[in-house]
Structure 1
Amino acid sequence: MDRTILLGIGALLTITLVTGLVALSKSGQARRLRERVVTAGTPDVRAVPTTGLPSIRLQTNESRPLLERILRFLRFNPDTPQEQLIPWWATLLIGAFAGLIVGYYLGFLVGRPLGAGAGVAIGIFVVRGLFSWQHNRYVMAIFQQIPDAIGLMVRAIRAGLPIGEAMRSVAAETSNPLRDEFARMLGDVAIGRPVDQALMRLYKRTELPEFSFLAVTLGLQTQTGGNLAETLENLADIVRKRVALAKRAKALAAEARMQAGILMVLPYIAALAMSQIQPFYIDNFFRNPTGQKLALIGLGFSVFGYLVIRWMIKRAGSD
């Protein structure tokens, strides 16, 4: 009973902490919006490099506040609520429930402190996994729409429309989720932000380098001039090849992911078969405390190995 109360208090404190962080991020987002409206039309000196051109470097060494670092670790972006299929509070409840269940059962085998710590770690891992899955799904949908969007801009420019009208045609004629992101980017432009800076903000929200390429292209064209339609057409061709390459890498990695799943479930299939052939082996294994600890250790190593394989496959695909 005391163990259950302790784990419940730990889960409640975890939910309260993460909920407070999310609420604080929401209030910070509203405050930044008010400041942006107040300072609309004023030049942002810090955002413009010395040469007047956007920087092509995608990573900077600027320091981030602690709250932003925590939300970034959880893969939760309060600036893009439309990417969340599951509401953030439901995701926190799922993570807390998973951590409570794991911590409760581990408390009987490894003790209360280790059980509570493992439960909190599992809860955070589940929350981060759900947020990451939703973010990756949203970003991949946008990534596949970028070549068609740039192609639409090229056709609009060749028809004689300015770049602003070409972007409005993308926001009007494309489907979600790219339509919402372009509409939000055009909203930034409407309140006085330059187009290249608005695109860089779009890059920071989605973490897609294609938007930074587009921002640099438009920034350079504004400063130097040239045939914008031809430049965007070349960029669309490059992005289209990147999309095809990403799909090919995903298809080639499907076999490795399948092998990783088979390696993970194979021991448990063998244990299930053994329970049907010689039931007393498995019964003694699970009734014995030592056997229960060994089963948990084996399950933990299986999950850890599967995650390591998935991480290696993802890194190889990104390279």
Structure 2
Amino acid sequence: MFVVFGFLAVVLLLEGLFMLWTDTRSLEVKRIQRRLRVMAIGDHGEVDISLLKQRMLSTTPTIQRLLLQLPKVQHLDRLLLQSGSSNTVAHLLTVCLLAGFGGILFGVVLLWPWQWDVLMGFALAVLPIVRLPWKRARRLRLIGSQLPDALDLISRSMRAGHGFSAALGMVGNEAPEPIASEFKTTFDEINFGISTKNALSNLATRVPITDLRYFVVAVLIQLETGGNLAELLSMLANLIRERFKLFGKIRVLAAEGKLSAYILTALPFCVAGAIQIVNPGYLNVLWTDPLGIRLVMAALGMMVLGGILMWRIIDIRV
């Protein structure tokens, strides 16, 4: 009996742990929690619904109140959302603090000067925040490339007899990520009672790309004036595809200019490094003589100015 009861106890313990994980940590639960967390981003007008939770900056109420006192914290939270991260602002700041402390500790262990310790700690502390704009830009480019297919899906759904909100739900269920989650959030907002205008405005806030704003403006104008929305969205999808083709041609034509900018920017540093390796004392006058320091600063300033000018020349908007 002891063996039987022990076996049953172990089985029930494992079953309880599995149910606990399913109810709190499973992918489906995380997906639902993320959808509920992102629905409050943007402007909901005068709608006040309990299902539209405020996007949490922290899971701890005390830290939540402290973070709300920080300036520009909502911008950081929106950057997290637009980059596709499911972390909170409190989690991000905690990672920054731990990374900064780890950098300082690493410098102390290696017996570096305290200035280098502080520099290392600061660099590692801001690294998680610096990565967010890069992740945001990559995610927005991916959404922009998926938008024409999503518009075609909405257009075909409406031609088949579905309503506009139902077509948004089909995009959320059938389109690839990350555009599916954004349209699914908009579909949920409309189902929860938010007007279509506010829900689409929130979509444009979460995904600030020009092509998506064209879609939002087209739908809002159609809601006011009427017309064939399916045909309008189909034409808009073709227009976006043509813009992508034109932009691709321009990128090919500007590739030579970009390569020249990279080479001209890196060439002085590579030459200086090679000279320093071949003849270590040859460039010492640049670091010891005041005139040499001024010449180096002037050269760096001209390089920065030239890089900005070349970047502006090849930055062509379509």
What's 1:82 paired with?
84
1:47 corresponds to: none
Of the candidates 43, 49, 56, which is equivalent to residue 40 of structure 1? 49
In the alignment, the residues of structure 1 paired with residue 73 and residue 307 of structure 2 have an alpha-carbon distance, to the nearest angstrom, of 21
What count of residue pairs does the alignment treat as equivalent?
Answer: 256
Q: Does the Cα contact within 8 Å between 1:196 and 1:216 map onto a contact in 2?
A: no
Q: What is the rounded CA distance, in whole Å, between the counterparts of 1:248 and 1:304 in structure 2?
A: 28
Change (3 A) 1:224 1:30: closer
User: 2: CA distance between counterparts of 1:270 and 1:190?
Assistant: 63
Q: Hey, what does 1:208 align to over in structure 2?
A: 209
Q: CA deviation at 1:138?
A: 0.9
Task: Describe the SS at the equivalent of 1:207.
Answer: coil
Deviation, structure 1 residue 218: 2.0
Q: Which residue of 1 aligns with 2:267?
A: 266
1:317 and 2:316 correspond = yes
Query: How far apart are the structure 1 equivalents of 2:279 and 2:181?
Result: 59
Greater RCO structure (CA 8 Å; 6+ sep): 1
Structure 1 pair 247–195 and aligned structure 2 pair: CA distance change class (3 A):
farther
- Quick one: distance in 2 between partners of 1:235 and 1:279? 61
SS in 1 for 2:281: helix
Residue of structure 2 equivalent to 1:146: 147
Alpha-carbon distance, 1:296 to partner: 7.5
- Alignment partner of 2:187: what SS? helix
TM normalised by structure 1 equals: 0.61
SS of structure 1 residue aligned to 2:79: coil
Residues 96 and 126 in structure 2, CA contact (< 8 A), matched pair in contact too:
no
The match for 1:308 is 308
What is the alpha-carbon distance in structure 2 between the residues aligned to residue 172 and residue 214 of structure 1? 19
Q: Please list every run of 5 or more consecutive structure 2 residues that lacks an aligned counterpart in the other structure.
A: 1-36, 51-67, 105-112
Partner of 1:176: 177
Q: Verify: 1:187 aligned to 2:188, yes or no.
A: yes
| Alpha-carbon offset, residue 234 of structure 1 | 1.2
Alignment of 1:1-319 (within 5 A): 39-40=48-49, 72=75, 77-80=79-82, 82-83=84-85, 88-89=92-93, 92=96, 129-282=130-283, 284-285=284-285, 288=288, 297=297, 301=301, 304-305=304-305, 308-309=308-309, 311-313=311-313, 316-318=315-317
Shift of 1:162: 1.6
Structure 2: distance between partners of 1:162 and 1:209:
25
Quick one: distance in 2 between partners of 1:262 and 1:150?
41
1:72-119, Cα deviation, whole Å (9 max, x unpaired): 5x796244352589x84488469969x98xxxxxxx9xxx9xx9xx99
Q: CA deviation at 1:225?
A: 2.6
Q: Aligned partners of 1:285 and 1:93: how far apart in 2?
A: 41
Deviations 1:183-233, CA, capped at 9 Å, x for gaps: 111121121112232122111122112222222222232333322221111
Post-superposition offset of 1:168: 1.3
The structural deviation recorded for 1:143 is 0.5
2:140–2:207 CA contact under 8 A, matched in 1: yes
| Percent sequence identity over aligned pairs | 24
| Matched-pair contact (CA < 8 Å) for 1:149–1:170 | yes
Whichever residue aligns with residue 180 of structure 1, its letter is S
| Superposition deviation, residue 176 in structure 1 | 0.9
Judge conservation of contact 1:171–1:179 (CA < 8 Å) in 2.
Answer: yes
C-alpha contact (below 8 Å) 1:75/1:135 kept by paired residues: no
Q: CA RMSD in A?
A: 5.0
Output the CA distance in 1 between the equivalents of 2:181 and 2:215: 18
Encode CA deviations 1:97-152: one digit per residue, 9 max, x unaligned: 9x98xxxxxxx9xxx9xx9xx99998999676533211111110100111010011
Does the CA-based 8 Å contact 1:185-1:198 persist in structure 2? yes
Computing the radius of gyration from Cα coordinates, the structure with the larger value is 2
Give the partner amino acid of 1:135. R
Q: Deviations over 1:46-83 (max 9, x none)?
A: xxxxxxxxxxxxxxxxxxx99675765x7962443525
Question: Is the 1:84–1:134 Cα contact (8 Å) retained in structure 2?
Answer: no
Q: In 2 relative to 1, CA 304–92 (structure 1 residues): closer, same or farther, beyond 3 Å?
A: farther
* 1:175 CA drift (Å): 0.8
Output the amino acid matched with 2:249: R
Whether contact under 8 Å (1:264, 1:303) holds in the other structure is yes
